[in-house]
Chain A
Amino acid sequence: MKVNLKKMLGLAALGMTLLTNTAPTWAGYKDNREVLREPVGINGVSGFYVTGSMVSARYSTDSNQNIGCTAYALGTYTWTACFATDKAGNSLVCGSSDPRWAEAVQSMTDSSFISFTVTDNDGDCKFVGVKSGSDLLR
């Protein structure tokens, strides 16, 4: 009886661990790109662009990376701001009252891939892009 119980527990534990090892058989393409901040030239002016997926930033192994955008409705104004920090702790921020960027934030989901661009000499968002797709799901 005791031997059977031991065998039972051992096999149950083995079954559990084998399953948790092999269960993720989600074979579709996955984009794991973390937050990346790179210099760029925009119409002859130097600046930075940043790209990254929300999921990769959230589930990264470091505690620096983050990326996202905020939509503001303030009285009769709307405003959009985007923020990002890469794993080295370098940050990028831009803001704009341009309604195109508000539309871009409108299309965001939990698993969006965000990119935005800003020049060195001001804080105006020159570009905000939001991508959603199966390769970004967790």
Chain B
Amino acid sequence: MKANLQKLIGTAVLGLAMFSQSLPAWAGQQIRPEVAIGPNYAYGSTVGARYSADTQQYIWCQFSPHNGPFVSCWARDKANKFYACFKFDASWATVVKSITDSSLITFGGDAAGSCDRLIVENHSSHLK
């Protein structure tokens, strides 16, 4: 009798706990593309790359104040395709510094690796 009562109370409490718990409804817009490499361009979200199923892809940019300032961007997709480009320009440093943990980065240039565009999107839809 005692065991049954204990079981009953336990189940009741468990049920109550489960139904009163509101599960997180993450219904907001989500855009987290993985890294894609095209002819002389690359794009991808940092979150999409970091939390992808493979261990290959990455996308990042680097800024150095020396000799420039100097900006470089690098990307590799899951098929191991690679693209990188470089630029010596102070205004590009501002854009590189905009990159956060959840940015969507697009960059492109010529076959020699000279960048002609860098776009950094900081948008709620790119958050994890």
Direct contact between the two chains A and B in their complex (CB within 8 A): yes
Residues of A in contact with B (beta carbons under 8 Å apart) = 3, 6-7, 10-11, 13-14, 17-18, 20-21, 52, 54-55, 57-78, 83, 99, 102-103, 105-106, 108-110, 112
User: 9 shortest A-B CB distances, which residue pairs?
Assistant: A68-B123, A57-B124, A17-B17, A73-B95, A58-B127, A71-B98, A73-B118, A58-B124, A54-B124
Q: List 10 A-B contacts (CB under 8 A).
A: A10-B7, A17-B14, A57-B124, A58-B127, A62-B28, A67-B123, A72-B117, A73-B95, A73-B115, A102-B98
Q: A65 contacts B98, CB within 8 Å?
A: no
Q: A75 contacts B116, CB within 8 Å?
A: yes
- Docked pose: A35 CA to B3 CA in angstroms: 53
The A/B interface has a contact count, at CB < 8 Å, of 133
Interface string of B41-77 (1 = CB under 8 A from A): 0000000000000000000000000000000000000
Q: A77 contacts B91, CB within 8 Å?
A: yes
B100 contacts chain A at the CB level, 8 A cutoff: yes
With A58-B26, A61-B28, A106-B97 given, can you name 9 additional A-B contacts, CB distance below 8 Å? A6-B7, A57-B28, A58-B127, A59-B26, A72-B117, A73-B119, A78-B91, A78-B95, A108-B98
| Distance in Å: Cβ of B7 to nearest Cβ of chain A | 7
- Docked pose: A83 CA to B20 CA in angstroms: 37
* CB proximity to A under 8 Å, residues B1-59: 3, 6-7, 10-11, 13-14, 17-18, 20-21, 24-30
Residues of B within 8 A of A65 (CB): 28-29, 124
Q: B123 contacts A110, CB within 8 Å?
A: no
- Docked pose: A14 CA to B17 CA in angstroms: 8
